[in-house]
Amino acid sequence: MIKLAIFDLDGTLINSLGDLADATNKALTDFGFPRHDEDKYRYFVGNGAKKLIKRALPDGTPDDVRQRVFDRYSDYYREGCMNRTKPYDGMPALVKQLREGGIKCAVASNKPDEFSKRIVRELLGAGSFDLVRGKRDDTPTKPAPDIVYGICAELGCEVVEAVMIGDSNVDVATAHNAGISCIGCTWGFRGERELREAGADFIAYTPNDIARTVGIE
């Protein structure tokens, strides 16, 4: 029986691609590097902000330069992380429905913890989730299962009582590394094909599909 729904953030609960692309492209421009089309960022994101910058920069960029670009990106994203970012249609209502149905809800994101908490609070509402966890220095990024274990422990749930909900192969791998199922959301950054190839246990085409999968109608 599912007692805890653990949601990815970017590409699952919110469409943040535009703001991530804008902040990165501004930082790249500042240091004389070429910009990228927004659509390319679908495959740059997913493994944390530092990996995003590494993917956006040319191969062989020195570590110290990469750090400076990352720092500049962080400044831009802090200023503009909600300029274009919006919740996906139906997702705030789904979370409310799940919680009213007795299922705890949490966020597990590779986005830095500072930004994850702020965006959830301001776009989805303070108290909308039982717990929000972004990337912290003491926890490996997904697909390592540590964030799942930590959320389960803090919310008093057995790991086997949780399900992971996300839009990419990173989320599928995180779930399977933790020994739980994953619901793949086709409206996100990566699409159905990647989710199926990664081995998602269930595919959701709408938020209502998630509710049905976890047993809430």
Q: Are 199 and 170 in contact (CB under 8 A)?
A: no
Q: Which residues contact 53 (CB under 8 A, 6 or more apart)?
A: 24, 27, 66, 69, 70, 73
Alpha-carbon separation of residue 75 from 26, 72, 135, 192 (angstroms): 10, 5, 17, 33
Q: Are 163 and 182 in contact (CB under 8 A)?
A: yes
Q: Are 29 and 35 in contact (CB under 8 A)?
A: yes
Asked if 8 is an active-site residue, the reply is yes
Q: Are 187 and 168 in contact (CB under 8 A)?
A: no
Question: What are the b/e assignments for 90-127, b being 16+ CB within 10 Å?
Answer: ebbebbebbbeeebbbbbbbbbbeebbbbbbeebbeee
Calpha distance 194→162 (Å, rounded): 22
The torsion of the CA quartet 141, 147, 149, 151, rounded to 10 degrees, works out to 180
Give the active site residues: 8
